[in-house]
Structure 1
Amino acid sequence: MREAVLDAFVADLARGAFTIDVREWDGYRAGHVPGTRSVPLPALGGALGDLPGDRTVYVICAGGTRSARAAGHLTALGMDAVSVAGGTGGRAATGRPPVPGEAVHTA
């Protein structure tokens, strides 16, 4: 399982990286990285058909544990998946606060 450092992720996100947030919907609504789609970890299996098979899928959560598990699962299925190190909490600590709002569902 690959892991992206925050600065590399932020740069890739600015270029349109496809990113899913695997926290529960209430956590996503409370604050998420702009441009991410909500795919709670329990719903990941049902969302596989909605994920791009031809580009990298960045996976983020609050701190990195759930995203690492999800990225590992996606990688095992043959996808190019990368866990974002530090998650939304780490990103916020660098002065990039999450934004609240409704979930944009992929599934």
Structure 2
Amino acid sequence: MTKAISISKFSELYKRNEHINILDVREDFEYEMGHIPGAKSKPLSTFPVELDKEKTYYVICQSGGRSSGACQMLTQKGYDVINVEGGMSAWRGEME
């Protein structure tokens, strides 16, 4: 089962610790239109990806669908990932 976090809890976590690992699985053009500062672009279309299995990753997309699918794939490969529910369409924080 995929772990998930609400956008409000994720926002609180982000405000407390801007050094969390965020994977943005939207396509490059979506990422370029605005993303959470520090988020790494890893479009779902480029999967599979190699990550550090010692780290926890928060996975975000536009609304939560692609990130949920990405989390399922990554969990099967042994990565510690958490889906950010609501995605960028629900994000009210800083963007770059």
Task: Pick the TM interval, shorter chain.
Answer: 0.7 to 0.9
Corresponding residue for residue 81 of structure 2: 81
Correspondence for 1:17 among 17, 20, 28: 20
Would the aligned equivalents of 2:25 and 2:67 in 1 still touch at CA under 8 Å? Answer: yes
Q: Is 1:41 the counterpart of 2:44 in the alignment?
A: yes
More helix by share: 1
Corresponding residue for residue 98 of structure 1: 95
Aligned length: 93
Q: Could you list the runs of 5+ residues in structure 1 that have no partner in the other structure?
A: 100-107
Would the aligned equivalents of 1:63 and 1:89 in 2 still touch at CA under 8 Å? Answer: yes
RMSD (Å) for aligned C-alpha atoms: 1.4
Corresponding residue for residue 63 of structure 2: 63
Would the aligned equivalents of 1:88 and 1:98 in 2 still touch at CA under 8 Å? Answer: no
Identity percentage of aligned residues? 32
TM-score (norm 1): 0.79
Q: How far did 1:97 drift?
A: 5.2
Aligned counterparts of 2:65 and 2:13: Cα–Cα separation in 1:
21
Q: Deviations over 1:28-50 (max 9, x none)?
A: 000111110100001121x31xx
Would the aligned equivalents of 2:56 and 2:79 in 1 still touch at CA under 8 Å? Answer: yes
Large movers: runs of 4+ above 3 Å: none
Q: Could you list the runs of 5+ residues in structure 2 that have no partner in the other structure?
A: none
Q: Is 1:29 the counterpart of 2:32 in the alignment?
A: yes
Q: How far did 1:13 drift?
A: 2.7
Q: How far did 1:26 drift?
A: 0.3
TM-score (norm 2): 0.87
Corresponding residue for residue 54 of structure 2: 54
Instruction: Give the partner amino acid of 1:24.
Output: E
Secondary structure of the structure 2 residue equivalent to 1:73: helix
